[in-house]
Structure 1
């Protein structure tokens, strides 16, 4: 089915373009580049070489008014020091690995712990803190950039030299990311993007609690203290986790007395089990902002999606335009393997062997109502 145009006010389309510009430097002096993608139809994105990060995404509303809809920083170097992974590529492994260890082929591998007793998002020096190499940019029907990164054997405790790529492509109605990787030793990998979306626009002071969220999932993974899955696969029916027919993000988020899981995560910070096993690109979730009419449709190939309602944004981060980011100012929808998969043989595998190609696709499609 053809996606409706962004807005009646969208100008006549022009060829999509991509261009590379400087965007400051890290505290250690490494240059940060920014690739500007323009689809020629009113949608623009900026991708940083630091962390292969989605720094901005500008979308028209139903009246054609353009706003940036992702949280981030105005200075490239701040992504090297600030927390919360705003818009960054996560790797080698997204989410948590219990105790900072896993066993592969009988060998135990130890990873740095950076979330209590657990390893989170590749550790303190994960892919989000690395300068990626721009391999190719281009325009035409779609504007794109292909970036690469080499993670050597033993990096953050992971086995195998991993050669990773992240390709962003901005087309007429959407922004896609394709992650690919190869290894020279058996390893585990699970990459994703950690964009915080606010379809109202990130400079308007509105939280995401009034966004309507629909998720194609009948079950989710409850967690123990520390946010490690218990192993149970719990049906969403009759709970605050039921977004099958759509619900406002904030409609039940304060029901901690009824939903212990919301208390443990300070809101939503849980993996939803998607209805099919993944592998092919299919619809995962839809986010709608009634006020602006902006709609984001998420598609992906991963078996799960981590839904995070910005619970730990606590007013200590100053973002774009000097705005202070507070709880629920952004919503993350992170397609990925299940948390702690390397320690859970009953979860869909995250193993990558030599001769195989890891590929994970994410597509955000945009429209207005």
Structure 2
């Protein structure tokens, strides 16, 4: 099936368009399975809604997004809601890297660095919809040479989202056709497990996070760019989610809270990556878990990726409107700072600039290598 999809990507878009599946009346594609409903749009291959039941059996849409499907491409804030960023996710320090003796320069759209491959990355494109069933949807993209500045060669990408009982899974695949190039993909959902309905708070500081294999991190400089350091996470420190689960806001009074995710901007909370250090015997265990005592909703994240980025929405400025199904007494209808958290499994951020990390075989692909492949799965349950 994947080979056929890559072959289809070589065809003109006009050939594909006439047979493209159609979305529902709301402009979204809806997948359903026992205990879960998920909706998607072709723009950025994004998930827009994810509905599960809380401990009392109430349906909660726990993903951030918009009711208006047509707003995603024109959103001036563009937080990558639910997107699949690419072809190289997250940051490239100083918007440059070297590959096979050639120095490449990428778009500086994050200070002096590059974020999600610049302003024409995969999270800012409308993908092709190749196949839709009641429980899965497949998106494909043809990414031409240098369509994102500094990204050489043609890359063909495929994303398949699927749902099963109480689970949302994503398969990511990308093939470099004619040139060696960086490839690193993930999904970018933002979570509020209370669906903003908690009458006491519209923030996620009460959400409990566990990163059981995260005893090391990617070191960052004041501008949140990688330094090459791989610091250990001290037990009991602000970044310790490995020794035991703790609430996202548990360290809010720690002097390190402000600046923890970048001292230059005064970023408070989290916008950091934890390394997943696990043995083969632990591969079936979740690399992260998130839960809310108020709603009782919990997910366990399973992935083959070697790192997890956690971003606690410091830069949300009260301008992103909630969906009609979300909100309660504590909200003003907009997402506030610390009102959400993104948890993104991905390989080591900026590994293309740190050959000493020995991650290049996981981040550089070419016509003579296999494709990039990764799986991500969220399994939902409730706690008492």
Q: TM-score, normalised by structure 1?
A: 0.87
Q: 1:194: how far off?
A: 1.1
For 1:272-291, list aligned pairs within 5 A: 272-276=274-278, 282-291=285-294
Correspondence for 2:74 among 76, 81, 87: 81
Correspondence for 1:331 among 341, 346, 351: 341
Work out the CA distance in 1 between the residues paired with 2:74 and 2:146. 23
Deviation track 1:11-33 (CA, whole Å, cap 9, x = no partner) reads xxxxxxxx852577xxxxxxxx5
Change (3 A) 1:167 1:257: closer
Question: For residue 202 of structure 2, what is the aligned residue in structure 1?
Answer: 206
Question: For residue 115 of structure 2, what is the aligned residue in structure 1?
Answer: 120
Structure 2 stretches lacking a partner, 5+ long: 1-20, 325-331
Asked if the contact 1:253–1:268 (Cα under 8 Å) also holds between the matched residues in 2, the reply is no
Work out the CA distance in 2 between the residues paired with 1:258 and 1:187. 37
Question: Within the alignment, does 1:220 sit opposite 2:214 as a pair?
Answer: no
Q: 1:276: how far off?
A: 3.0
Question: For residue 346 of structure 1, what is the aligned residue in structure 2?
Answer: 356
For 1:229-244, list aligned pairs within 5 A: 229-238=226-235, 239-244=237-242
Work out the CA distance in 1 between the residues paired with 2:175 and 2:29. 25
Question: For residue 57 of structure 1, what is the aligned residue in structure 2?
Answer: 50
**How large is the RMSD of aligned CA atoms in angstroms?**
2.1
Question: For residue 253 of structure 1, what is the aligned residue in structure 2?
Answer: 252
Moved more, 233-242 or 255-264: 255-264
Asked if the contact 2:95–2:106 (Cα under 8 Å) also holds between the matched residues in 1, the reply is yes
Correspondence for 2:301 among 298, 303, 306: 298
SS in 2 for 1:80: helix
Question: For residue 138 of structure 2, what is the aligned residue in structure 1?
Answer: 146
Q: TM-score, normalised by structure 2?
A: 0.83
Higher strand share: 1
Work out the CA distance in 1 between the residues paired with 2:124 and 2:380. 29
Change (3 A) 1:266 1:136: same
For 1:173-192, list aligned pairs within 5 A: 173-184=166-177, 185-192=179-186
Question: For residue 13 of structure 1, what is the aligned residue in structure 2?
Answer: none
Correspondence for 2:372 among 352, 358, 368: 358
